[in-house]
Structure 1
Amino acid sequence: MIISCLEDYLIMRKLYFLIPGTGDKFACGGLWAELKTIELAKKVCSTEVVTYRKREKDKLFLDDLLQTKQQDDCAFVISWGFDAPRLSVKLKRFRLNVIYHAHTTGYGFSLPTSIPIITVSRNSMGYWGSKSPNSLIYYLPNQISDDFYNYRQPRNIDILVLARKSSTYLIKKLIPELQQRFKVVIINSYVDNLPRLFNQAKIYIYDSAEYWAQRGISEGFGLQPLEALACGCQVFSSVNGGLADYLDPGFNCYKIAAHSCLFDIQRITAVIDKWQYLNISEGLFSEYRKQNIIKKMQSILEEINIFFDNNQDDAISISEINYARLKQLYFKSRFKKIIKTYLAKL
């Protein structure tokens, strides 16, 4: 009831999405996903891109923006995990509203509870639910474009592999074995029309567990296996990190790197020998489509704006679950048990 009344007077703040830059140096799946989110955010409120490492034509630069007089009618969205700690401190020094858009997890930093967290996967939401239990936390998945659907046409590629993030096992052992039997296409560069490529392939293989383990951080979302499923590919994939949100081995995919290379080859061969389009209900993809994400984003931003409207710097925050507090709770629990045991003996 209180929130309902507040919404009657709600004014949506302008969002400044902070990215290091948009050039080749910063090109990656996380950047493309963030740029897609920015386009969707424009359907909800006033939105603008701000770079902070590289000055770019026709884009705001953070240091310049901070020199202007800032009002309480905007919020800054940070997302680059490597830069998030520094940026959050910098923006809070100017007493600005900050939102963290969490993709990959495992960087190890913490955030003050005054910064709401929007996660791109349930895996990331669970991480921050443990890491920052007293923060506002939301789940807003990345978008899968409507261009990704099954053309239902003949397919001339047996196996498709995108080399980036692929494991050593995949590239050095499994793929050479498969190349002796099947038509295997390995993509090492940017693909202009990925939906068309997926619709040419029978099987798509993705194995990123080793890649992310080496970096000590998680697969934030893993969009390509989901896009491949939408295009009717049979998918063999790892299920680490955000991939576990939607992959269900034995039902909509196969788990790759399962025990032995021989077992992988046997299963892949069986799928190709009896290959058919993968028919999955659109229900699996609906939560990742444009309209659902815009609807969720609207609700999330409304609640975050209410939070910013009513967040007082001098308010007493909830006690954090840190090392000192855990030790305190442990000793309290032990003391209660000792007293209980003592009284039972009287």
Structure 2
Amino acid sequence: MRPLIFLFPHDRMNVGGNSAQVRFVEACCRFTAASVAFYGGRIADRPHLDDYLAHHTKGESSPIFVIHWGPDIAMLLKRLKGRDVVYIAHSTGWGMALSSEVPILCVSRHTMAYWGRYAPNSYIAHVPNVVEINDSDTAQPRDIDVLVQVRKSSRYLLDRLVPALQEQCRVTVLDGWVDDLSAWFRRSSVYLYDSLEHWADVGATEGFGLPPLEAMGQGCVVFSSVNDALADYLDPGFNCRKIRVHSLQWDVAEVLRAVEERAPAPPHAPWFAGYSPDMVASRLETVFGDLERFFDLTADIDPNIDDLWAPRRPTPLQRAKRAVRVLTGS
């Protein structure tokens, strides 16, 4: 199988989609040569994209480039024009259109549905993230009642719900990046996650929602928003609870009840099988086998299926008229 080069904007591998992407690199190493390169500023003793572009030409043995960093996708596709590129989509809403020459691997069904609508002529597949779970007894005593991360949390969660809970139970608030979040999950009874406000401000979507799933895998009762890809796996009332329901009083009462009763119980280990390193590596091997055939067959063929969105895109005049209607309220 052809080698894979995963491209990263910088070497802060524990940031956002980078950490999930590193797990994909490790999974791909099981069946082919997979390596990492950077495309931002040069980093001492680390491979850079420009080096590969200078020494590798497109061909049967040339590497397949794998990209993922949403804000940089349009720029990267220009730099990689004429190369075989795969986009792993961790979220949506970055405002770019993709040619059907670029296959899209989606970490969630929510993201797959988005690209199924807006890139209907593209190769699209679903490959979920790798999730770490705790195979030991999740009912063991825990010294943290409620765990919260400042990162991605809403103002309601931090300014109202957390202070109200701190008066009645043991609350730990983590600020900044945490190297081993799983260790904190294993100490906590309840984990709170409310990301909608963050993603609404960014203008993108929750592409997977790894922390709540990992918290469930470590035995936490999860209270979460259910926006975007969180709805892929969260089932309020059955494997989690929904946060910010009706009033502060309701949320406080339900969180305290969950601390006391540890319910609803997180899923058992078999429920997480689809997110295991073995299963994800198997899916990736199948998909990249497909993609080798795709790139081989389409190498000299231009896309020739009609773009069904072309006649539906508004003209500049139509966009201007719509903006006027929105501004005037007419």
TM-score (normalised: structure 2): 0.90
Q: Which one of the candidate residues 252, 270, 273 is aligned to 2:239?
A: 252
**1:294 matches 2:281:** yes
SS in 1 for 2:70: coil
* Partner Cα distance (1:148, 1:49) in 2: 31
The equivalent of 1:4 in structure 2 is none
* Partner Cα distance (1:127, 1:214) in 2: 19
The equivalent of 1:153 in structure 2 is 140
Which amino acid in the other structure matches residue 70 of structure 2?
Answer: G
Structure 1 residue 19 displacement after superposition: 0.6
The equivalent of 1:219 in structure 2 is 206
The equivalent of 1:337 in structure 2 is none
* Partner Cα distance (2:184, 2:268) in 1: 21
Structure 1 residue 146 displacement after superposition: 4.5
* Partner Cα distance (1:69, 1:182) in 2: 59
**2:150–2:174 CA contact under 8 A, matched in 1:** yes
**Structural mapping, 1:235-274, within 5 Å:** 235-274=222-261
Measured on the aligned residues, the alpha-carbon RMSD in Å equals: 1.8
Going from structure 1 to structure 2, the CA distance change for 1:64 and 1:164 (only over 3 Å counts) comes to: same
Q: Which one of the candidate residues 190, 196, 204 is aligned to 1:209?
A: 196
Larger Rg belongs to: 1
Which consecutive unaligned segments of at least 5 residues does structure 2 have? Answer: 315-330
**1:148–1:195 CA contact under 8 A, matched in 2:** no
The equivalent of 1:81 in structure 2 is 70
Which consecutive unaligned segments of at least 5 residues does structure 1 have? Answer: 1-11, 328-346
SS in 2 for 1:205: strand
Q: Which one of the candidate residues 284, 289, 293 is aligned to 2:271?
A: 284
Going from structure 1 to structure 2, the CA distance change for 1:130 and 1:149 (only over 3 Å counts) comes to: farther
**Structural mapping, 1:161-172, within 5 Å:** 161-172=148-159
**2:67–2:87 CA contact under 8 A, matched in 1:** yes
Structure 1 residue 313 displacement after superposition: 3.6
**Structural mapping, 1:179-190, within 5 Å:** 179-190=166-177
Going from structure 1 to structure 2, the CA distance change for 1:122 and 1:216 (only over 3 Å counts) comes to: same
The equivalent of 1:16 in structure 2 is 5
**1:98–1:116 CA contact under 8 A, matched in 2:** yes
Going from structure 1 to structure 2, the CA distance change for 1:148 and 1:223 (only over 3 Å counts) comes to: farther
Structure 1 stretch displaced more, 102-111 or 149-158? 149-158
**2:134–2:217 CA contact under 8 A, matched in 1:** no
SS in 1 for 2:235: coil
**1:144–1:223 CA contact under 8 A, matched in 2:** yes
TM-score (normalised: structure 1): 0.86
Going from structure 1 to structure 2, the CA distance change for 1:325 and 1:233 (only over 3 Å counts) comes to: closer
Q: Give the fraction of aligned pairs with identical amino acids, expressed as a percent.
A: 39
**1:126 matches 2:113:** yes
Q: How many residues align?
A: 312
**1:152–1:277 CA contact under 8 A, matched in 2:** no
Structure 1 residue 278 displacement after superposition: 2.2
The equivalent of 2:178 in structure 1 is 191
Which amino acid in the other structure matches residue 87 of structure 1?
Answer: L
* Partner Cα distance (1:191, 1:316) in 2: 45
Moved over 6 A (4+): none
